[in-house]
Amino acid sequence: MSVQGMIQWLLVILLASALFLAFTGMFISTLLITFSAEGLAFIFGFLGALVFANKLLFGYGGFVITAEAFLANKEIDRKKLVRNTKEPEERTQNLSIPSLLMLWLQGLDYYRYAYYGLFTLMLILMLLSKFNLLGALIIGNYLEGAFWGASVVTFFVFTLEITAKYLMDKIIKEVVL
Amino acid sequence: MKYFLVATTIALTGLFVGSGVGSYFTSSQLLKQFQNIPGSPVILNATYDKDKHTITYTVSNPGTVPITVIEKAFVFTPGKESREKEYVISNIPANITIPPMSVTMIKLKLKEGTESLKYGDLIFATFTYKHSLSKDIYTVVHSFKYGSEKVEKATVNEGKGEESK
């Protein structure tokens, strides 16, 4: 084996062990965070928001995938799309695919409003306890943990939502022009 | 343009959420460590009340653990103007808790029947205290000389005046 090859292998081993250590460190620090009471509050908030946002995450996620496929001129399963709009079969018979996509996006609005409403309620509760107006400074820290857990999920919901709306705008422009 | 706006909004929101989560965990850990720092009491001020014959000490607890003052004791040393003899009173029971990061008044009653403090009288007060983190007992000693600098100057001037007359 040449010297260059040896050095290359050494570098590869070094990089691999560095990566391994980095991931172990991340794993252990995550474990340490979740072992505290605040970490538990964070996880509960995260899971609760995830259950509540499930419909939104999968709805917007599916919409983004379908819209991208439509923009790339790929074939779209019309039956599946009709099922996602939650409209009766008779009403959607003569509709084009962009209008079906629009109906799908409109159907998700109810869930979005409910989710953001609950998130805002959580924010208000957290702020009230932070300013000691709720009279419970002890649970304030845990309320904040739950809020931050929920805010991570809210970030994904928000991201998917604005991406879906951006794609919808793009489709409308393409259809009209 | 719109693509850029959407991407920037997502990136900024992600940064905000990430920094919020990170600072929450950091601050809560810091708070836990910060809640267990015992401080030693700092006597900020001592004032003498002639009518009640007591000295009031303003004591601050700079730590984040409550401190309990168990005992008080003091040594009275007379100045030049006083006719009182030197005396010691120890083991005065006290059960005063100073909450973390706050200020409390502690009153020290002088010996009954003695005359009120005169300029130059010295009082060495010893406060015995403990906190919940250890079984040890600590003391803090504070010396208090009656009469302020203004009084001292005034008396000196008076003396000079009398001499010149």
pLDDT single digits (tens) B84-97: 888 888 888 888 89
Q: Nearest residue on chain A to B18, judged by CA atoms? A: A152
pTM of the model: 0.64
Q: List, for residues A44-63, the tens digit of each pLDDT value.
A: 999 999 999 999 999 999 99
- Do A106 and A23 fall into the same domain? no
Q: Nearest residue on chain B to A145, judged by CA atoms? A: B24
- Do A13 and A63 fall into the same domain? no
- Across the interface, of A145, A158, A163, the residue whose CB is closest to B13 is A158
Q: Nearest residue on chain B to A153, judged by CA atoms? A: B17
Q: What's the complex ipTM?
A: 0.74
- Do A41 and A31 fall into the same domain? no
| Amino acid letter for position B97 | T
How far, CA to CA in Å, does B130 sit from each of B37, B67, B140? 13, 6, 11
Residues 6+ apart with CB under 8 A from A98: A70, A171, A172, A175
- Do A87 and A134 fall into the same domain? yes
Mutate to test the interface with B, among A31, A34, A36, A38 (most CBs of B within 10 A): A38
Q: How does residue A136 score in pLDDT terms, banded at 50, 70 and 90?
A: low
Distance of CA A161 to the CA centre of its chain: 9
- Do A83 and A17 fall into the same domain? no
Chain A residues touching residue B24 (CB < 8 angstroms)? 38, 42, 144-145, 148
Tens-binned pLDDT, residue by residue, of chain B (165 aa):
888 999 999 999 999 999 999 999 888 888 778 888 888 899 998 888 888 888 999 999 988 888 999 999 999 888 888 888 888 888 888 888 988 888 999 988 888 878 888 888 888 899 999 998 889 999 999 988 887 655 555 555 555 544 444
Alpha carbon distance, N-terminus to C-terminus of chain A: 64
Cβ neighbours around B45 below 10 Å, total = 12
Phi and psi based region of residue A86 (left: phi greater than 0; alpha: psi -120 to 50; beta: remaining): left
Is B42-148 assigned to CATH 2.60.40? yes
Could you give the number of structural domains in chain A?
2
| Range(s) of the domain holding residue A167 | 37-176
Going across the sheet that includes B102-109, the strands are B42-49, B54-61, B102-109
- Do A78 and A89 fall into the same domain? yes
- Do A29 and A46 fall into the same domain? no
- Do A150 and A109 fall into the same domain? yes
Name the nearest CA neighbour of A59 among A86, A78, A36. Answer: A86
| Record: contact A144-B21, CB cut-off 8 A | no
Name the nearest CA neighbour of A39 among A146, A125, A151. Answer: A146
